Amino acid sequence: MIAFGPVPSRRLGLSLGINNIVSRKVCSYSCVYCQIGETQSKSALRTVFYEPGKLIENVGNHLEKLDERHQPDYLTFVANGEPTLDINLGEEIRLLKRFGIPVAVITNSSLLHLPEVRDDLREADWVSVKVDTVNELAWRKINRPPVFLKLKEVLSGIRHFANEYDGKLHTETMLVQGFNDSEKQIRETAQFISGLNPASAYLSIPTRPPAVKNVKPVSEEILTAAWQIFSESGINTELLAGFEGTDTGFTGNAFDDILNICAVHPLRQDTMQELLKKDNTDMSVIESLVFQRLIKKVKYEGMDYYLRSYHF
């Protein structure tokens, strides 16, 4: 369960996801808004998850199963956790270049203070770094990092990487009601991001079921104000507040397609229905997966979503 999709991405077009973290979620953060739930194993220690050859073989096999219309625009490391925890990330990115498809990495930025992590990410064609806030207290409430990790260290690592990186650099800021949505915080975050000179900055709100139930997106008024503040700071700013669409890639194996996508990308009811149709099957597959407790259905903002369920 390494490659999945491709799935429609608001940032990357058709993105074939690469989940380079084994099994349940392993991350340096446990963000309150995370769409794949609470962190099962919080860690800031880089380690081996897959042998690079196995990962590349899995991606190649997945690409061969896709029809021409679903060939991806990007191969994207978007994992069941933080992808830079994978100590083989740099080698994997280099090996993926053989497919002739740009490689993207979406990171929470927590390990960018490590030179070896910055070296690995420089191999990618497109990198998104998370900057939810530059306020220490708010950062700890939103991202819930390990106690030994310091925001000053993280922000310094982001600056270093921005200065070193020759690819397409982007930032992402998730705005959460009551956490990081004051005008003062938004202006401070915009000032920091402006100094990175990114190709674009994405402003997001939670659009899928969050890890913490009472987490809510900011109002449309605050989101618009934030866009204005970022834009006035000289940043090319885009909003990521809408639904990506239902046109996911498929392999013909509904069981694997659903489990692989749901591990890192909860499927909305209409998207699930479309995927079942492509794989020539029906809701009996979903009923079986729910019965086996491999996926679960949750409701968020009036819509039903399906996501992976882990029981140990």
CA 167 – CA 306 distance, rounded (Å): 34
CA 78 – CA 265 distance, rounded (Å): 9
Report the SS3 class of residue 130.
strand
For 3-240, which CATH class?
alpha beta
Percent of the chain scoring above 70 in pLDDT: 90
pLDDT confidence bin for 243, thresholds 50/70/90? very low
**Is 80:25 a contact under the CB 8 Å cutoff?**
yes
Query: In the predicted model, is pLDDT for residue 300 greater than 80?
Result: no
Predicted local distance difference test score (pLDDT) of residue 176: 95
Query: Between 145 and 13, whose confidence is greater?
Result: 145
Q: Among 17-21, 217-221, 228-232, 262-266, where is mean pLDDT lowest? A: 262-266
CA 306 – CA 217 distance, rounded (Å): 20
Query: In the predicted model, is pLDDT for residue 244 greater than 70?
Result: no
Query: Do the strands 126-130 and 103-107 form a parallel or antiparallel pair, or are they unpaired?
Result: parallel
**What does the domain layout of the chain look like in residue ranges?**
3-240, 267-308
**Stretch 217-234: mean pLDDT:** 87
Tell me: the pLDDT tens digits for 78-89? 888 999 999 999
CA 18 – CA 104 distance, rounded (Å): 10
Helices (H), the chain: 52-65, 89-96, 115-121, 136-143, 151-164, 183-194, 220-232, 254-262, 269-278, 283-291
